[in-house]
Amino acid sequence: MNSRRSFIQKVALTAASIPLLRFQSLAAPPASDEPVLRVALMGLGGYANRVADAMKSCKKAKLTGAISGTPAKLTDWQQRFGIPEKNCYNYQTFDQIKNNPDIDVVYITTPNALHHSQVLRVAAAGKHVICEKPMAINAKEGQEMVDACKKAGVHLLVGYRMHFEPKTLEVIGMRNSGEFGKIMFFQGQCGFRIGDPTQWRLNKELAGGGSMMDIGIYAINGARYMVGEEPIWVTAQEVKTDPVKFKPGVDETIQFQFGFPSGAVASCLSTYNMNYLDRFYLNGEKGFAELQPSTGYGPIRGRTNKGELTAPHVTHQTIQMEEMADIILRGKQPLIPVNGEEGVKDLKIIDAIYAAVKSGRKEPLKLV
C-alpha cells in the first residue's frame, strides 16, 4: 500500500486520478462570480430521472429545462424539479431554445437512433450538447454530429460517466505510474437478461442493434481506457438462442477480441441473455486490477495485487455533471476524454465488430 500512497502524494497537484481530492473539490461550490451550467434534459425516461435526481447535489450545474413528447411528464417535472413552464418544450418546438438564455446545454437521453437528428438541431440552436452513449448508430452519423457541433461552435460531450468514477481513475493512475508493468491482457464482461420484448432496446429501428448498442459499449470503451491504447484489429462471434425475442439485426450475445499496438489483447462479452456480468480485469507483467461491479451505478468495487481499492462512492451522474460543467464553462481537460471524437472511436469499433461477425475475419481498426 505504501507505493500507492506515494503515487497519490506525487501527482496530487496535477491529476484527476486522485479520488479523495476530487471529492473535496466537488463539495465546494464555485466562486460566486463563476457561472453555473444550465441544463435541459431531453427524453424524460428512467435515466433522465436518475440524472435529474443526481443533479440536486451539484454545485456547478443546475437543471433548468426539460424536453419531452409527453405533456404529463413535462407537468410532472415542472412540479418535482421547479422547472419554469417557459423552459419546457416538446420535440416539435425545442428549436426555440435558441432564444432561451436559461439553457446552456441539452442532455439527450432518447433512444439511440434519435441522437443524430436531435444533436444537429440542438447545435443549430447554438446550444452545447451532452449525448448519451452510444452517440449514434454508426460512425458516419457520429462524425456528422461532431462536424455540426464544431461548425456551430458548441461542445459535444458524451455521457461517459465511468470516465470520472473514482476507483476507475485510481486503477488508471496506477497503470500510468507503471505499477502494473507492461499491460498484457484485458477482459470485459458486460450483460444482463433483458425483460420486456416490446421495449425500444429490442427494436433495431430505434436502438440500431441489440446488446452491443447498450451494454456492450461499456466493454469497448473500458478496454480502451483500461489498457491505455487504441485497438488495431477486432474479431467477433455472435450467438443467438432466441430468434423470436432477438429479431434480425438485434444481437443477443457477441464475443469480441481486440489487439493493441503493444501486443496486449482483450477478450470481451456483450449479452442480453446472462445476468451477473459486470467485470473488468486488467493484467500486467507486475500486477493486476479487477473491478466487479465495474460499470453499474455503484458502488463500484475493486482490488489490485496491492489490495482493495478504497475511494469512496459518490453518485456517478453527480460527478459527471460537475466535471462536464468544468469542461464546458472553464475549459478543463479530463483525464479520459468525453468529447464527440471519443464517441466516434467507439462507433468505429462497433461498426467493425458487426462487420467481423458477418465476415468471420479479423477486421482492421484505424482510430488514430
Give the model's pLDDT for residue 358. Answer: 98
To the nearest whole number, what is the mean pLDDT of the chain? 93
Contact predicate 304/171, CB 8 Å: yes
Residue 14 has a pLDDT of 35
Report the pLDDT value the prediction gives residue 216, as an integer from 0 to 100: 98
Average pLDDT over residues 33-41: 94
pLDDT band at residue 34 under the 50/70/90 scheme: confident
Does the pLDDT at position 9 exceed 90?
Answer: no
Residues 159-206 have pLDDT tens digits of 999 999 999 999 999 999 999 999 999 999 999 999 999 999 999 999
CA dist 244 to 7, 202, 247, 363, Å?
52, 11, 6, 29
Is residue 338 over pLDDT 90?
yes
Q: Does the pLDDT of residue 30 top 90, yes or no? A: no
Alpha carbons 244 and 140: distance in angstroms, whole number:
30
pLDDT tens digit sequence for 42-55: 999 999 999 999 99
Q: What percent of the chain has pLDDT over 70?
A: 91
Share of the chain above pLDDT 90, in %: 90
Write down the pLDDT at residue 32.
Answer: 57
Sheet containing strand 233-239, edge to edge, reads 307-308, 302-304, 288-291, 277-284, 183-191, 265-271, 253-259, 233-239, 363-364
**250 has a pLDDT exceeding 90:** yes
| Cα 63 to Cα 249: distance, rounded to the nearest angstrom | 36
> Taking residues 63-77, what's their average pLDDT?
98
Q: Is the pLDDT of residue 337 over 90?
A: yes
- Is the per-residue pLDDT at 23 higher than 90? no
Predicted confidence at residue 108, as pLDDT, reads 99
Q: What is the pTM of this model?
A: 0.91
Q: Which pLDDT score, from 0 to 100, does residue 315 have?
A: 98
Domains defined along the chain, listed by start = 2-161 (3.40.50.720), 179-310+339-364 (3.30.360.10)
Is the per-residue pLDDT at 26 higher than 80? no
291 burial level (CB within 10 Å; 0-12, 13-18, 19+): buried
Please state the rounded mean pLDDT for residues 61-71.
Answer: 98
Kindly give the interhelix angle for 19-27 and 316-330, rounded to the nearest 10 degrees.
70
Residues 315-333 pLDDT 10s: 999 999 999 999 999 999 9
The cell numbers describing 98, all together, are 435558441
